[in-house]
Structure 1
Amino acid sequence: MSTTPDWATRDEADPQPAPARREHPAVSPQTAAVFGRPDGVAGSFSTAPSRRPQPELAPPDPVLAEAFSRPAGASSALQRDPYATYGSEVAETEPDDPWRDPASGAHLEGPALAEASSTTERPAGPKLGVTDLLFGRRVHWWALASLAIVALLVGVAGGLIGRWTAEAVPPLNSNSVSLDVDDSAVASTDIAKVAKAVAPSVVMIEVRTAGSGGSGSGFVVDKLGYIVTNNHVISLAANDKSAKLEVVFSDHSRVPARIVGRDVKTDVAVLKVDNVENLTVAKLGDSAKLEIGQPVIAFGAPLGLDRTVTTGIVSAVDRPVPLRPDASSDTDAVINAIQTDAAINPGNSGGPLVDGQGRVIGINTAIAAAGGGSIGLGFAIPINEVIPITEALIKDGSMRHPQIGVTASTVRNDQVFGARVKDVAAGSPAASAGIKENDVITEFDGKPIEGADELTVAVRTSTIGEEVKYTYWRDGRTFTGTITPRGD
């Protein structure tokens, strides 16, 4: 049985089956009239007129034609000028006649008859010279005389005015002036006498290191070359062995100095200079006899200005002033200061504060300053406290201070003013005396205590080994007792 398909054996001459024909719906006469070709046209377009009736445009409404049609003579532009008047004649407007218009305003008109103006120009005449004026009789003689009289009067008036002003204003320079000098002796005041007597004993102290420096003051207390000053003046040199320490005397001589001893708890230090002859030693007074209001004189070198003298009075005594450590000083003290309004500024520190007789009654030490300068609140360590410290430093190089073994803070309320005990050291004089924490000490060695600074000063000014009476407040009741300070 053969597997060859039927189409492979078919004769090529055999007819192919015809595709099926699709019938289209008939076109209505109305559609053919609108969309059909005109008669006699076989292609897509034809210019031959059609015999088939064509649509015709109806004539426009006359009103619309008048409103929207182009006027005669207009261009074919899409828009016409709304202000143009096409085809209309523009009538020339006649000027208003004020005689015929009763509403016209008053205004000027031209003259009834125009005046003929001459257009002939006259040639310029020759210019007048001096000869013409004087001899040409071109000017009247009386005019020339008037001009001469006026010129004469002006000259006379100017000369008189110049003479008067020269006499009224004196000359600036003169070679007949000489200044008289009164060379009679001037009576010295008490301050001048004191300044002259004390100045040779006052010195300026300079400290210089590789990166910083400073200056202060001091005064000579012994012919061997011992000089008293503040610890904060020389603490930079004490803590830096490479620092250079020098003393400058009133005659500008400069010598090196050595530190004998210093006390950070009282801000007192002693220096020594060697091989200096004819030293002037300051006279020491008694600070316990000071009276508020008495005159005092401050010596020193404020801001490096040596041999400076300022005056004032004693404003107050026994003023507790704390001195705290800073970048340039290791002083940590509370001084029982003399307050004065004598001008004291940085650099006065260590200089003497003297009375009207030239006796040293204190060491200028501190100021209260809002902006860094003196405002009339200066403080000095009383000389009666400086003397034993100076003697101890010269003798031993150090100073022992009384202490009772407590730390305290200031308390002020409706119940009590004083120094509240914060801590009591075991085995201290305070512990032996029965003082406890939160006790408020109100009196020590006969001195009223209103704060921690007052207690510090009172303890430091007591005597080691001598019994002291004190008063304290505890639980709303006041007690008294005794205590014996020990050396630190």
Structure 2
Amino acid sequence: MPVSAPRSEPPAADVAAVFGRPDGVQGSFAGEHVPADRPEPRVAPPDAVLAEAFSKPAGVTDTLQRDPYAVPEPEETPEPDPWRDPDSTASMSRPAVPVPMPTGPTDRGPKLGIRELLFGGRVQWWALATLGILALLVGVFGGLIGRWTAEVATPLHSNSVQLDGSAPDTDASSNVARVVQAAQKSVVTIEVRTAVEGASGSGFIVDKSGYIVTNNHVISKAANDSKAKLEVVFFDRQRVPARIVGRDIKTDLAVLKVDDVADLTVSKLGDSDKLQIGQEVIAFGSPLGFDKTVTSGIVSATGRAVPLRPDAESDTDAVINAIQTDAAINPGNSGGPLLNDDAQVIGVNTAGAMTGGGSIGLGFAIPINEVMPIANALIKSGKVNHPSIGITAATVRNDRIYGAQVRDVADGSPASRAGVREGDVVTRFNGHAIEGADELTVAVRTSKIGDAVKFTYWRDGRYFDGEITPVSD
């Protein structure tokens, strides 16, 4: 039974419309259908600006344009070859075969001995005679020189010379030396040692019973650490434990006491109110731990308000009415005496202005006339009462006014009763000119509790006078 190939059915009309060949196409791939009416493309000439910017320079035929700023590398000039260049000049050249240079004898031969020199006939007789004459002349001349130096020059060594180091017995010591001799045994070194560190300062004896005056910042660590060790070292290196009698953070003063020490030398006290600028002074103490150190200078200013603020080393918060001196005062001098030329204590060395850790000739001491009332109060009761007027102030300096501007007035305080208001600027207090808050602090502290004092203040462009009576703080 014959078998015939299956016949496919023609596609549906909608399928043929989507997937069928276009009319007139017989192959599997359709060729590009170009409409008969499509115009041929033409290349338009480039814009004049673009042609100038991107076209090749005249005479250039390379595909890539060369850098117009590139410097061409110089061409190597071949060495001239007279065999190939008939126009070359004549020149010398090295020989084709090196010529060996002749060499002389290198052996100097045997040296001449005495026999060969005198009898060998190898030296002329007149040369031998000349050498003999020269030797004779050298011997005669050397003998004459030796004879002359022996008679004229003095000997270098002598058994008759004896050096004597004793000086004539005259009183030629300086004034500073006399002050040191008189005061050195009354000055002490104060050492404070804690579990982790140590520090030292100075002090001076004010009573035979063992009372010693120093600065509060010298013994602050001992006061605030019950386990700290406090010792006093005397002039003869004797070490004695000390106790704190009292201290005052507002004046940076303190009093210590030692017991059972015989033959104490007490300091002589002077009058700091009689100091004059230019007067000679001597600072005694233990700067940087070097005890029994003395520096000298002059009083360069008085009544200098110097603030001392609390820090990691001390709880002192004071403004001192300082004596300014150019005698070197370094760390460790604190608490030591400032002496006049009569070996009298006229101040307590307290602070120094320093740059780079060293003295620059600006040292400050608390006047002894302000020290002794504080020391007496500490010895008597262990505490001090200071005058107060009940205000806080800040320094103001502008084109209108200089002074201490009141920032706060305590209710019921002497300042409140005197009519002082916030914003007032105090320009004078108890006879002292006030140019800042530190000067006002010193002026109030140096007044007396219960005694009325006059003051001047500025308000709304006008000056007013008032009276105020400080009370105890």
Residues 1:216 and 2:201 aligned together:
yes
Q: 1:138 to 1:235 in 2, by over 3 A?
A: closer
Counterpart-to-counterpart distance in 2, 1:484 and 1:177: 81
Counterpart-to-counterpart distance in 1, 2:439 and 2:151: 78
Query: What is the aligned counterpart of 1:202 among 177, 184, 187?
Result: 187
Query: What is the aligned counterpart of 2:333 among 348, 352, 368?
Result: 348
In the TM superposition, residue 277 of structure 1 has moved relative to its aligned partner by 0.8
Residues 1:130 and 2:126 aligned together:
no
Counterpart-to-counterpart distance in 1, 2:251 and 2:153: 70
Q: Name the structure 1 match of 2:2.
A: 6
Counterpart-to-counterpart distance in 1, 2:148 and 2:350: 68
Residues 1:442 and 2:427 aligned together:
yes
Q: Name the structure 1 match of 2:398.
A: 413
Map residues 141-156 of structure 1 onto 2, 5 A cutoff: 141-156=125-140
Q: 1:281 to 1:163 in 2, by over 3 A?
A: same
Q: 1:268 to 1:165 in 2, by over 3 A?
A: farther
Map residues 359-398 of structure 1 onto 2, 5 A cutoff: 359-398=344-383
Residues 1:241 and 2:217 aligned together:
no
Q: 1:156 to 1:360 in 2, by over 3 A?
A: same
Query: What is the aligned counterpart of 2:456 among 452, 471, 481?
Result: 471
Counterpart-to-counterpart distance in 2, 1:334 and 1:167: 81
Q: 1:164 to 1:400 in 2, by over 3 A?
A: farther
Deviation string for 1:49-78 (max 9, x for gaps)? xxxxxxxxxxxxxxxxxxxxxxxxxxxxxx
Query: What is the aligned counterpart of 2:299 among 307, 310, 314?
Result: 314
Deviation string for 1:217-240 (max 9, x for gaps)? 100111110000000010011111
Deviation string for 1:23-51 (max 9, x for gaps)? xxxxxxxxxxxxxxxxxxxxxxxxxxxxx
Map residues 19-418 of structure 1 onto 2, 5 A cutoff: 129-156=113-140, 176-187=160-171, 188-418=173-403
When structure 1 is superposed on structure 2, of 296-305 and 383-392 the one drifting more is 296-305
In the TM superposition, residue 153 of structure 1 has moved relative to its aligned partner by 3.4
Q: 1:141 to 1:331 in 2, by over 3 A?
A: same
In the TM superposition, residue 417 of structure 1 has moved relative to its aligned partner by 1.0
| Letter paired with 2:2 | D
Counterpart-to-counterpart distance in 1, 2:430 and 2:366: 20
Counterpart-to-counterpart distance in 2, 1:343 and 1:125: 83
Identity among equivalent pairs (%): 70
| Letter paired with 2:211 | Y
Q: 1:181 to 1:104 in 2, by over 3 A?
A: closer
Counterpart-to-counterpart distance in 2, 1:416 and 1:125: 110
Residues 1:427 and 2:412 aligned together:
yes
| Letter paired with 2:379 | I
Q: Name the structure 2 match of 1:460.
A: 445
When structure 1 is superposed on structure 2, of 262-271 and 191-200 the one drifting more is 191-200
TM-score when scaled to structure 1? 0.71
When structure 1 is superposed on structure 2, of 156-165 and 260-269 the one drifting more is 156-165
| Letter paired with 1:6 | P
Counterpart-to-counterpart distance in 2, 1:330 and 1:380: 19
Counterpart-to-counterpart distance in 1, 2:154 and 2:392: 81
| Letter paired with 1:469 | K
Unaligned residue ranges in structure 2 (runs of 5+): 5-82, 84-88, 92-104
| Letter paired with 2:117 | L
SS at match of 2:371: helix
Q: Name the structure 2 match of 1:48.
A: none
SS at match of 1:368: strand
**Runs of 4+ that moved beyond 3 A:** 5-8, 124-130, 136-140, 151-177
When structure 1 is superposed on structure 2, of 147-156 and 420-429 the one drifting more is 147-156
In the TM superposition, residue 481 of structure 1 has moved relative to its aligned partner by 0.8
Q: 1:155 to 1:402 in 2, by over 3 A?
A: same
Counterpart-to-counterpart distance in 2, 1:412 and 1:167: 88
Counterpart-to-counterpart distance in 1, 2:384 and 2:341: 31
TM-score when scaled to structure 2? 0.74
Q: 1:313 to 1:131 in 2, by over 3 A?
A: closer
Q: 1:434 to 1:145 in 2, by over 3 A?
A: same
In the TM superposition, residue 196 of structure 1 has moved relative to its aligned partner by 1.0
Deviation string for 1:169-227 (max 9, x for gaps)? 98876655421233432313333222111111110101111111111110011111000
Larger radius of gyration: 1
| Letter paired with 1:481 | G
| Letter paired with 2:281 | V
Aligned residues: 374
Counterpart-to-counterpart distance in 1, 2:184 and 2:110: 97
SS at match of 1:206: strand
In the TM superposition, residue 271 of structure 1 has moved relative to its aligned partner by 0.1
| Letter paired with 1:153 | L
| Letter paired with 1:230 | N
